[in-house]
Structure 1
Amino acid sequence: MKINKENKWKRDFLTIAGGQTVSLIGSAAVQFSLIWWLATETGSPIMMSIAGLFAFLPQLVLGPFAGVWVDRLKRKTVIIAADLFIGLAALVFAFFFLFGNPPYWSVCLVLGIRGLGNVFHTPAIQAAVPMLVPQQELVRANGWSQFMQSGAFLLGPVLGAAMYAALPLWIILLSDFAGALVASATVAVVKIPDPERQIKQRPRFFHEMKEGAAAICQDRKLFIVTAATLLGMVFYAPLSTYYPLMTSDYFRADAWHASMVNFGYAAGMMLCAVLLGKFGTIKNKFPVIHLGLLGMGTSSLLCGLLPAEMVWFWVFAALCALLGASSNLYNIPYIAYLQETIAPERMGRAFSLIGSLSSATMPLGLLIAGPVAESRGVSLWFLVSGIALLLLTLVSALLVLPQKADN
């Protein structure tokens, strides 16, 4: 019976994770193609900043409210509905490219619509995992999930670069719709338990959002690490928008070189995910979390110091691989800690709140970084973000690591 039970959670988890991976491959190819099209057509950090703002704005505005509904509704229903919504948005936008050359702002619009679907999808998936996976296996399961997602991010940009060179954008957008259908089907065939809930007639949004916030604030170590990370993300988050410009404008490289940057980042994520998945459990997660933040800050700083010569591009790609590995070294134990310590009936709200606060760092960071990168170059912001993240990691480590940790 024990073996059968173990096989069941693995089968159910990997079925859903496999479908999400297929969907992410299509999404990554589409995301790369749209962003590269916008970067090469405009060459403007301001336009890239606006696109990034639209992508994160739905999470910023609606995230806490979405978390209330995630904790009220069946998580399986939320996941499927969000997947299909994102796929249909890509399908509709494909017709814009089929019948003409849409304006630049339309890319910002479709990124915002996709972001609206992710507002519900991401916390629902994260809250569903501990309902399927035994608590002691959460690091392992998140490692497997991040490995498959990293593979999607690795394959997606390469596929996107190949498709961008050979196919019109409207065909590329259809791959996102096809992936959403696959992801929805795999979720549909798995039974996802829901936590016991206190039935309420109507949502009391602010009261219920406050309960989600309390789940984070009551854990001192979690609160300190989360606060330090969010402050660091104000500087670090805009970098995801500036990778294409580092390749195209700073190093004067092409789309294939840009795909190699994404390839290296995803490869680093995969390697780290494999190693953490092999460990299975990490009792004291906070030293590992801080080591990941340290790697992110160091890599960003070094990227900002590279000369603008093509020979240094490959050093930049290698540092991006270290960035990817470091991000998973932080992210996997951090998510596992949340899933282990937060009550299941509050988990959707907690993840949505963190997602919203994280999203707030993107527009705030872009408002600061955009003018600086426009006038002084994107490499300077890599340097600034690295210094800021290292300082905040040091403060967090001094406050958290001396404490005896139980998780």
Structure 2
Amino acid sequence: MKAQWRVLADHRNFRRLFGGDSISLLGSSVTTVALPLTAVLVLGASPVQMGLLGAVSFLPHLVLGLPAGVWVDRLSYRRVIVGADLLAAAALTAVPILAATGVLRMWQLYVVVVITGTCSLFSVIAAQSFAPLLVPRRELLTANSAFALSNSVVATSGSALGGVLVQLLTAPAAIAVDAASFLLSAISKARITVTGRSTAAGQAKESLFKGIRGGWRAALEHPALRATTVAATVGALAGQMQVVIVVLFLVRDLGLSAGLVGLVIAVAGVAGIVGASIGVQITGRLGNGPAFIVGTTLSSLAGLVMAAAGGPTALALTVVIIAQLLRGWGPTLWGINQQTIRQILIPPELLARTQATWRFLVHGMQPIGALLGGTLGALAGFRATLVISSLIMLTSTTLALLSPLRTLRQLPDTETPTPSRH
């Protein structure tokens, strides 16, 4: 963890980016609880309406995921991340105002989810492309580990905070906290002293299709990048197959109480925090490629271990906790390395569109995985779904093991050119 604190202390502009993202992420964790509760408690949403509310959150990635990278590459990264935060703050502010005046409707929540999802898409692409301009390349793994640590801490604590705020303020009023967090985030990011404009002259004139094609080529042409992209895409599909049935498996097949289910879910969050804290040290020993493979392997085994749970409650709970430890450690380890590999191997002028391609593929697989997981769970049972999805995930791990990632122990250490200040 010392390495993460050091990179924050040494690089002022990165600290402002990190601080802004952490604040807005905490606010968004509140909204993940408050927005559905607003729909249910205030508007009396039906199951179909709740399903649609979840589905529209994927629309920005599916519709705008590819062109977003091209557009971000043509703009100042700082302007994109600040503008996205301000727009998200405005959209979220509308919810408590509409609720207080008695005119809030479900279609308005759909619009808010689409707007904030679009803002998140553009902001994440720009921020991940901005980071290599704010820290030296040799410290990118540590910087990504700091982001992962922040994400794990917020994911573990933010939902609980959201529940408390809903109790104290009502669900719509709790969303105002998220709006304020985006405003604070925009202020922090606006203080970054470089613009992060990376597009070379002439690129801004190329067609949208050509720009998208360049992102696809960059993401898939290099053998190591192709391996990480394929593994992440398949992993997202299989992982979402598990996400939609895990709670059902814990409650219906294992008979765990609501309190124990909450404990089990929290274990993965705590494991993610630990994994982010030691991910740099593990990668230092194994190398970036092997550490990525180890991370995907741990993630793949989590479902198989959980599927083996059974018997007395104490024994079943022990096995499930082991599975959740793997589920927390694995994604953190492969996540920080796939991001670092991409940031270093992709030229700066192609990075945003490559990030967009990756997010389009990975996030595009999640609704498909959710549908497959739910259908397979109903037809074959939850335990079988855990096994099948884990085997799918192991297939991608095997492909990564057979790729150049196996021997990719050290990434190039060439420094990123000084970014423009204009």
1:197 aligns with 2:200: yes
Q: Give the corresponding residue for 2:29.
A: 28
The Cα shift of 1:232 comes to 3.1
Q: Give the corresponding residue for 1:14.
A: 15
| Aligned-partner residue type, residue 371 of structure 1 | T
Please tell me the root mean square deviation across aligned C-alpha atoms, in Å: 3.4
Q: Give the corresponding residue for 1:158.
A: 160
Give yes or no for contact 2:240–2:373 (8 Å, CA) kept in 1.
Answer: no
Give yes or no for contact 2:99–2:172 (8 Å, CA) kept in 1.
Answer: yes
1:215 aligns with 2:256: no
The Cα shift of 1:172 comes to 1.6
Moved more, 208-217 or 62-71: 208-217
The Cα shift of 1:304 comes to 3.5
Compared with structure 1, are the counterparts of its residues 7 and 394 closer, same or farther at alpha carbon in structure 2 (3 Å cutoff)?
Answer: closer
Give TM-score scaled by structure 2 length. Answer: 0.82
Counterpart among 165, 182, 185 of residue 183 in structure 1: 185
| Aligned-partner residue type, residue 219 of structure 1 | H
Q: Show CA shifts across 1:346-392 (max 9, x none).
A: 10000001000112111222232232335555554333221211232
Distance, in Å, in 1 between the alignment partners of 2:248 and 2:40 is 7
Q: Give the corresponding residue for 2:150.
A: 148
3-state DSSP class of the match of 1:370? helix
Q: Give the corresponding residue for 1:354.
A: 358
Distance, in Å, in 1 between the alignment partners of 2:171 and 2:290 is 44
Moved more, 241-250 or 135-144: 241-250
User: How many residues in Structure 1 have an aligned counterpart in Structure 2?
Assistant: 401
Counterpart among 102, 119, 123 of residue 117 in structure 1: 119
Moved more, 374-383 or 208-217: 374-383
Compared with structure 1, are the counterparts of its residues 247 and 114 closer, same or farther at alpha carbon in structure 2 (3 Å cutoff)?
Answer: farther
Give yes or no for contact 1:288–1:329 (8 Å, CA) kept in 2.
Answer: yes
Distance, in Å, in 1 between the alignment partners of 2:45 and 2:257 is 16
1:396 aligns with 2:400: yes
Q: Give the corresponding residue for 1:79.
A: 81
Give yes or no for contact 2:307–2:383 (8 Å, CA) kept in 1.
Answer: yes
The Cα shift of 1:51 comes to 4.4
Counterpart among 283, 287, 291 of residue 284 in structure 1: 287
Q: Give the corresponding residue for 2:138.
A: 136
Moved more, 235-244 or 268-277: 235-244
3-state DSSP class of the match of 2:362? helix
Give TM-score scaled by structure 1 length. Answer: 0.85
The Cα shift of 1:223 comes to 0.6
The Cα shift of 1:165 comes to 4.0
Compared with structure 1, are the counterparts of its residues 54 and 302 closer, same or farther at alpha carbon in structure 2 (3 Å cutoff)?
Answer: farther
Distance, in Å, in 1 between the alignment partners of 2:26 and 2:313 is 29
Compared with structure 1, are the counterparts of its residues 393 and 105 closer, same or farther at alpha carbon in structure 2 (3 Å cutoff)?
Answer: farther
* Unaligned ranges ≥5, structure 2: 1-6, 412-422
3-state DSSP class of the match of 2:24? helix
Q: Show CA shifts across 1:119-148 (max 9, x none).
A: 201110000000001010111111112112
Distance, in Å, in 2 between the alignment partners of 1:170 and 1:70 is 32
Distance, in Å, in 1 between the alignment partners of 2:248 and 2:39 is 10
Counterpart among 302, 308, 322 of residue 299 in structure 1: 302
Distance, in Å, in 1 between the alignment partners of 2:257 and 2:235 is 29
The Cα shift of 1:240 comes to 4.0
Compared with structure 1, are the counterparts of its residues 316 and 332 closer, same or farther at alpha carbon in structure 2 (3 Å cutoff)?
Answer: same
